[in-house]
Structure 1
Amino acid sequence: MKLVPRKLTSLALATVLALSSSIPALAASNVNPVVNVNANNEVNQIDVEGFKTAVGRAVFTIVIRSLSLYSKGKKISERVEESEIEDAIKEYFDITFYSSGRDLATWNVGRGKDVVLEAGDDSSYGFEHILAKHVPKYFNQYDEAEEAMNNGDVITFFDKNDDIKDVYENLDYVIKKYKSKISQDGFKNREERFKVKGKDGENYILIIKGGEVITFYPDRWNKADIFETYQGPGIPV
């Protein structure tokens, strides 16, 4: 999902306020349209369909873009656009042409087999997905995080100060260190999950399918919370 540029956020929220105040159904509905996770991780349930009916799909879309990521009560990231993640990848790997199928790195793991890291996309696989889902600086997977919380699952995160260099160096380290195991089990037609120890001594999960890196994330309890920052009419805080 492409997002509203940050410099338009104030204007967008002002538009939400104006539109919301003009719709009587919003004032009368008392719906709770967004997830608000407080310091005790207590979640207010959402009524998405009721909210969409009250203020319309366009307003709903603008409101849910006002999210931030918090850890231990401190803001650690604003939601970012997918294009920002792609630009950061292009800069780090010094490439101009970018596509989801673009190979960013290749490792020979023996037996004539190569593991490939593709750019991928933010929602499903590859380096872009690793950054968008597990690195606070680039996090934008709020819908998936909300679903995980509702299912009692956890999304784990790299440290809040980690950047592309930190993530890639750990990934490079574990693929080289565990290349024998990866060569044996990482080229099947299903996702294989490897428990590995990174360059920084931390535990990680590396998932590979058919020789392609699907995702890579810390194997530890390092959960961040989703907070709604917009405080417009009809929205509990």
Structure 2
Amino acid sequence: MKRNTKNLNTSELKDFLNEKVVAYNNPKFIESDPIQIPHTFSLKEDIEIAGFLTATIAWGNRKSIINNAKRLMNLLDNSPYDFIINHKASDLEQLKPFVHRTFNGDDCTQFIKSLKNIYIKHNGLEVLFSKHAENNNLQTAISKFKTVFFEIEHLERTKKHVSDPLKNSAAKRINMYLRWMVRQDNAGVDFGIWKSISPSLLSCPLDVHSGNVARKLGLLTRKQNDAKALQELDLNLRQLDNEDPVKYDFALFGLGVFEGF
């Protein structure tokens, strides 16, 4: 029987969403989600790089995302960290044929070079994001990350593949990536390997599915899925759980994708 979710008070809404978190935040979720790609690795750097590259191409058909992310890992010899740190210019040739929607081999090559710079000059992805983490969220940290990512010589076309929340982007893919790395769910889905950032700072990956469900539940009134909408959703999810607000991503996404809510 479908539950009537109209006019739920805060306590009832929280209970309803908590039920959905339990339903979807479990290992079964991994089977059809791009997070399965970093789950094939055990080294911290491999997990975070595989996660970042997978999240970068995580738009469109989920099966296509997963297949292309697997293909990308193969092109990196299934050792992404080693490839990034030790590749020669000739090794980058094997990335040329790669394409996922508008992300092509040239973009991929740029990402490898930028990631190498981050590990060599900035002590890695976690250090870079945690350095600019603020007291209430990570959106400024994402913007600073983009600046550093493109501080080396780069292709102008590749900049569109890294979002900037300070330019009103909801930065869905990077917020999803940060959930994967920072949130320790004790359920085997999110990794929680970045201990220097608090899960309380995470923002919900806002997309068509989570946005539509959030609006139906009264968690979001803004019509566009942009940075302002994310701010509104953040505020409302923090009222439900200030320590782990992004656990509700599982509920909103699950309701939208699996239940057609």
> Between Structure 1 and Structure 2, whose CA radius of gyration is higher?
1
- Determine if the TM-score, normalized by the shorter chain, exceeds 0.5: no
TM-score bracket for the superposition, by shorter chain length:
under 0.3
The TM-score, its normalising length taken from structure 1, stands at 0.27
Greater RCO (Cα-Cα under 8 Å, separation 6 or more): 1
The structure carrying a bigger strand percent of its residues is 1
Instruction: Please state which structure has a larger fraction of its residues in helix.
Output: 2
